[in-house]
């Protein structure tokens, strides 16, 4: 596609900042010494190949020059210029694409009822994985955690061209990484875990070891909630399939990762998910346990200066045969106790439900948090 074939009304809407961030995310480097109303970049493959980005949006030919930059970037990625244009007009986001190939979708449209089911299934799938990012477990009794709900509320639905495609722009949450916190945005953790879990489902079809997916230590994204959501995404027809893809935000390209990943879910994959649902729901759920240990660090805060701090605390706990680290969310009163224990290096005891994770264990449903009796002040 030539630059002249792109809709100028849309290329004029692309900001210089979006173009520069996209190019830099792909490894293009700025050419020094170029001043004025343009900026030049050189390709990471060959310094001879250059990209010119206009900086003055008031120029009469800004749309045309921007279109040329879009085409050059598309050629570099071996990607459709229309796809690059759509990406640049969206907030910095990981774009998840759900492309259904079935007899019903051959004409590029589907029934309103089926489309509604696809959207609802997509929402449930992403919400389930967002909960698994925080707490990997086989069943999420309530899909109501704040971070997961906020993630879903920021997602945007975009349109595809040429066939029925549902695109979901998962907007990156730009937060400052505090010392000791995870530098990877919550959104990126959700989209990565979502694709990884779908790949694991496909591999289970090939290996015949689907039951192994019922282990949140190895497969933290797997849950009965996700499997039920996939049931809503299942297309009709023996040869039908659903392709789920992701185009990582060029504002934050993951290291050593494909710029675009996709996984094709065939009917056999949906059958495995359906068979797993009752297995995951019937697994024994963790029960509250009493723990003893020490407070390692305090990560909570307060919405305003008039309120005492509360929130996340990280603990070093001791069980009969192992030492483990876990995080826990505490109330204002419990956080005050944790603060005293941390300053004086005093042991604490607590009762709650442990959820193991390959990243950091978590304790939920806190029923007790106090200093060990013989160490109370």
**Tens-place pLDDT, residues 338-359:** 999 999 999 999 998 887 766 6
Displacement of CA 103 from its chain's centroid (Å): 31
- pLDDT, one tens digit per residue, over 359-369 is 678 888 888 89
C-alpha span between 247 and 95 (Å, rounded): 5
Residue with the bigger pLDDT between 106 and 334: it is 334
Which pLDDT value is given to residue 181? 58
pLDDT band at 161 (very low <50, low <70, confident <90, very high): very low
Per-residue pLDDT at 180 exceeds 60: no
* Domains annotated on the chain, with CATH: 3-88 (no CATH), 93-282 (no CATH), 289-375 (2.40.50)
pTM of the model: 0.61
Which pLDDT value is given to residue 68? 93
Cβ atoms 124, 140 nearer than 8 A: no
C-alpha span between 290 and 227 (Å, rounded): 32
Tell me what the mean pLDDT of segment 146-161 comes to.
81
First-residue to last-residue Cα distance in the chain: 75
Q: SS3 for 34?
A: coil
Which pLDDT value is given to residue 358? 61
Paired tokens of 163: 């066939």
C-alpha span between 52 and 50 (Å, rounded): 7
DSSP string of 227-262?
HHHHHHHPPSSTT-EEEEEEE--TTSPPTT--SEEE
- Lowest-confidence segment of 30-34, 56-60, 75-79 by average pLDDT: 30-34
Phi/psi at 226 (nearest 5 deg)? -65, -45
Q: What's the angle, vertex CA 32, arms to CA 29 and CA 34, rounded to 5? A: 115
In the chain, alpha helices (H): 8-11, 16-25, 62-77, 81-88, 112-134, 146-154, 186-207, 224-233, 267-282, 332-344
Angle between helices 81-88 and 62-77 (to 10 degrees): 120
Per-residue pLDDT at 162 exceeds 50: no
Which pLDDT value is given to residue 35? 75
């Amino acid at each position: 596609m030539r630059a002249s074939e792109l809709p100028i009304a849309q290329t004029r809407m692309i900001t210089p900042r979006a173009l520069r961030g996209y190019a830099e995310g792909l490894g293009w480097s700025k050419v020094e010494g170029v001043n004025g109303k343009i900026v030049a970049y050189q390709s990471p493959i060959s310094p001879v190949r250059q990209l010119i980005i206009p900086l003055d949006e008031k120029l009469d030919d800004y749309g045309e020059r921007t279109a040329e930059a879009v085409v050059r970037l598309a050629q570099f990625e071996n990607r459709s210029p229309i796809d690059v244009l759509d990406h640049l007009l969206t907030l910095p986001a990981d774009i998840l694409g759900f492309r259904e190939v079935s007899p019903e979708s051959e004409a590029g449209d589907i029934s309103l009822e089926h489309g509604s089911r696809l959207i609802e299934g997509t929402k449930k799938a992403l919400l389930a994985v967002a909960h698994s990012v925080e707490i990997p477990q086989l069943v999420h009794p309530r899909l109501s955690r704040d971070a997961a709900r906020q993630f879903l509320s920021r997602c945007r639905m975009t349109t595809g061209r040429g066939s029925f495609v549902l695109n979901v722009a998962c907007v990156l949450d730009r937060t400052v990484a505090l010392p000791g916190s995870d530098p990877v945005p919550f959104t990126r953790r959700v989209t990565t875990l979502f694709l990884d879990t779908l790949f694991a489902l496909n591999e289970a079809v090939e290996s015949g070891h689907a039951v192994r997916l019922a282990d949140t230590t190895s497969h933290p994204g797997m849950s009965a909630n996700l499997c039920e959501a996939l049931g809503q995404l299942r297309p009709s027809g023996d040869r039908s399939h659903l392709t789920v893809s992701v185009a990582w935000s060029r504002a934050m390209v993951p290291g050593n990762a494909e710029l675009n990943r996709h996984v094709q879910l065939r009917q056999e994959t949906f059958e495995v998910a359906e068979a797993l649902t009752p297995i995951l729901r019937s697994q024994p759920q963790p029960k509250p346990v009493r723990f003893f240990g020490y407070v390692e660090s305090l990560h909570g805060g307060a919405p305003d200066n008039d309120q005492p701090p509360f929130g996340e605390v990280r603990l070093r706990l001791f069980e009969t045969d192992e030492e483990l680290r876990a995080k826990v969310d505490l109330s204002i009163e419990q956080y005050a106790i944790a603060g005293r224990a941390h300053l004086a290096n005093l042991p604490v005891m607590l009762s709650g439900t442990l959820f193991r994770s390959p990243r950091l264990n978590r304790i939920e449903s806190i029923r007790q948090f106090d200093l060990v009796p013989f160490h109370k002040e």
